[in-house]
Chains A and B, each alone.
Chain A
Amino acid sequence: MKIYVMEQSGVEHTLEGVEGWRLMSVIRDSGLPIKAECGGACSCATCHVYVADEWLWRLFPASSEEIDQLDGAFEVQGNSRLSCQIILNEEMDGLRVTLAPGTEA
């Protein structure tokens, strides 16, 4: 499965997604600059991404914990998610996200 991740600069990367993995782990392990400092515990908001509109409704909705945690992120929008809370499955082949400001490693 392919995941498309755009940096703030506009450069897009095609990553190989793994079913069952956190989107954050796929981005981090690819070497892209994502801080993801708590390692996936929904505790730091430094893996903030913007999800492409056409994908937003196809994801499992954010938990109240994730929404609270987004208070520690910057420039939060309606399509903001924490990538550690998006667990990949085959239906997400082609998922498109942009790394948000303030998450640079």
Chain B
Amino acid sequence: MSNQTHTTDAIIIGAGPVGLFAVFELGLLDIKAHLVDILDRPGGQCTELYPEKPIYDIPALPVISGQQLTEQLMTQIKPFNPVFHFGQMASSLEKTTSGWRVTTDAGTVIEAKIVVIASGGGSFTPKKPPIKSIGDYEEKSVFYAVRKKEAFKDKHLVIAGGGDSALDWAISLHPIARSLTLLHRRDEFRAAPHSVAQMRQLVEAGKIKLVIGNLTDLRGADGQIEAVILSTAEVACNTLLAFYGLTMKPGPVAGFGIDMKNGLIPVNTENFETNISGIFAVGDINWYPGKLKLILSGFHEAALMAQKAFRYVHPERKWRFEYTTSSTSLQEKLGVRD
């Protein structure tokens, strides 16, 4: 837990494409930003769900992948030195005398004049197998991530999944686990070829047991599993690590006290402010008549949001509308002026 308090101008919740572009629009108006994101890297859905997929509707870019779009946005906002707090969820929002305070689940505290919610479809969390009793075992004997390898020492461990996370952890944990079974629905793995080869060798050598089947149920009591149940068999174990990828769940934004409608935040389309002064919502999380969940809409929303944000952050200054093409002061901020 870090209890250091950061002070800045704007807190952006969500570092997807729209959150990143908000840094740019705010930056042009001398508004510094900190970003909080539950993922460990920028890009949101673009890098988590479809990094390699082509996007065809970004103006002036006939085709760009989710990964490339994120990289380009990171380059574009570099002059504004945004501060990122990755791997953390913005868990609470409170009013302060001069603005707002956001606290993350990792204990990071950030204070700022305004807050921009750019949380898209919600927080990415591990997909949980649809087994009714699974909640009874989570964080006791069923896990979706490895925080400390030591926690798996001497365990009879089942790792479920066929991607890189499943194989990497199987390879890494087999020396310390008492036994390790890799469970996957088919005898083919989409993980990196060298990991697959290494796993096959360990199976051959008897260090890892490979079981092909679908996880359908769990057997155990008082939070302690005794076996994972497959359609055709069961595997005795005392710990399960399940890696089925990530999914989006509504995040803590719903508890922030902002008006919401069907899980979305209604905004004023003049400035993308919510019903609370100084709190804005841009991108897929907001709603207004005619809303389209497009990256390009989010970019437009960020630009209008920043103009109103300026009035909160720099109330003493006169607002001026300028073009990056012709404004020497904007060019200085961008670091492109000789």
| Chain A positions near chain B (C-beta within 8 angstroms) | 35, 37-38, 41, 43-46, 68, 70-77, 101-102
Contact = CB atoms under 8 A, between A and B. Distances in A.
6 contacts: A35-B247, A37-B248, A43-B53, A68-B190, A70-B185, A101-B130
Which 10 A/B pairs are nearest by Cβ-Cβ distance?
A101-B130, A72-B245, A102-B130, A68-B190, A43-B50, A71-B162, A43-B49, A38-B49, A41-B50, A76-B185
Nearest to B293: A39
B45 A38 contact: yes
B152 interface: no
Given A71-B190, A72-B127, A102-B129, A37 B214 contact: no
A38 B185 CA distance: 22
B247 A46 contact: yes
B245 A75 contact: no
Interface string B252-263: 000000000000
* Chain B: number of interface residues, binned into ranges: 20 to 34
B247 A44 contact: yes
Contacts of B186: 71, 76
Nearest to A76: B185
B244 A74 contact: yes
A49 to B, nearest CB: 14
A67 to B, nearest CB: 8
A75 B245 CA distance: 15
Contact of B121 (A37, A71, A75): A37
A76 B214 contact: yes
B251 interface: no
B185 to A, nearest CB: 5
B185 A71 contact: yes
